[in-house]
Amino acid sequence: MHAIRDWNDLRARIDSPDRRCYAFFHPALIDEPLIFVEVALTRGIPAGIDPILSANRERIDPERATTAVFYSISNCQRGLAGVSFGHFLIKQVVEEVGRQIPRLSTFITLSPAPNFAEWLRRERATEASVALSEEDRAALETLDRADWWRDEAAAETVREPLLRAAAWYYLRARTPRGTPLDSVARFHLGNGARLERLNFAADTSERALRQSHGLMVNYLYDLEHIERNHEAYVQQHAVVAASAVTRLVKAPARDVVPVGD
């Protein structure tokens, strides 16, 4: 979730013609949603959150949009934190937005990676890590510098090693139950999405830098393949991923299902 700063920020997210907000309500809570999702209509897949949230962004005519971007999903009721309404909401929103704007051809998220930085910290501290080479471990020391992402040379030093590490994290890192380590990945993969793209320095807010070193992820919802992807995940804990991600890891694991771009 990206915090809403004030009423102007809220208005920019839901009042503009190229923005949508959908929510689940319950009769027992007439004026309070159970969960809501914020959607941006764009002309391409976003690689960062700033163009989505910026007050100075260029507005577009919804009829010229080609892409619906799910960029913030928020559970509103603490007592229902363990109930996954989001699975149902996203599928319904994909269908609804597609009916409203038939021109849309891509339904995708711009998602955080809340567990990545902690995993990477542990791998960097492990000399026997199979996820990181010695060269990558050395390059990733740049992450320990304050504001490394503001320095163009430092950012370029980190970019490729960080993306390789992220690919390994998403394709290989698992919980004891055999599911992906990342909580957001479990949500979207279990919902039938495919891991589409890793975005470097996509969110440079303090919170995102702390949790993910600025990494954000696109998950693609392809209506023709949602059920197949869902079954692959449920039955095999398979990570359906685009080749742009799988090729960052030299030898994909058996439970990684690469697909064409």
The CATH code of the domain at 112-259 is 3.40.630.150
When the pLDDT of each residue in the chain is averaged and rounded to a whole number, the result is 85
Summarised one tens digit per residue, pLDDT across range 54-111 is 878 888 999 999 999 999 876 544 444 444 544 567 778 888 888 889 999 999 999 9
Q: Roughly how many angstroms between the first and final C-alpha of the chain, as a whole number?
A: 28
**Same fold: 7-109 with 112-259:** yes
Residues designated as active site:
111, 188
**Residue 97 or residue 116, greater confidence:** 116
Percentage of residues in the chain having pLDDT higher than 70: 79
pLDDT of residue 235: 93
- DSSP code per residue over the chain: -----SHHHHHHHHTSTTEEEEEE-BTTBTTS-SEEEEEEEESS--S-SHHHH-TTPPP--GGG--EEEEEEEEE--GGGTTS-THHHHHHHHHHHHHHH-TT--EEEE-EE-TTHHHHHHHHHT-TT-SS--HHHHHHGGGGGSTTGGGSHHHHHHHHHHHHHHHHHHHHH-B-TTSSBS-HHHHHHHHTT-EEEEEETT---SHHHHHHHTT-EEEEE--TTTHHHHHHHHHHH--EEEEHHHHTTSSS--TTEEEE--
Residue range 106-132: mean pLDDT, rounded: 95
Q: Which CATH architecture has domain 7-109?
A: 3-Layer(aba) Sandwich (3.40)
CA pair distance 6, 2, nearest whole angstrom: 12
- pLDDT > 80? residue 44: yes
- pLDDT > 80? residue 126: yes
- pLDDT > 80? residue 174: yes
**Model pTM score:** 0.86
Grade residue 260 by pLDDT with cuts at 50, 70 and 90: low
pLDDT of residue 134: 93
- Could you state, in order of their start, the residue ranges of all structural domains in the chain? 7-109, 112-259
CA pair distance 77, 24, nearest whole angstrom: 11
pLDDT of residue 54: 83
Summarised one tens digit per residue, pLDDT across range 139-161 is 999 999 999 999 999 999 999 99
Summarised one tens digit per residue, pLDDT across range 186-234 is 989 988 999 999 999 999 999 999 999 999 999 999 988 988 998 999 9
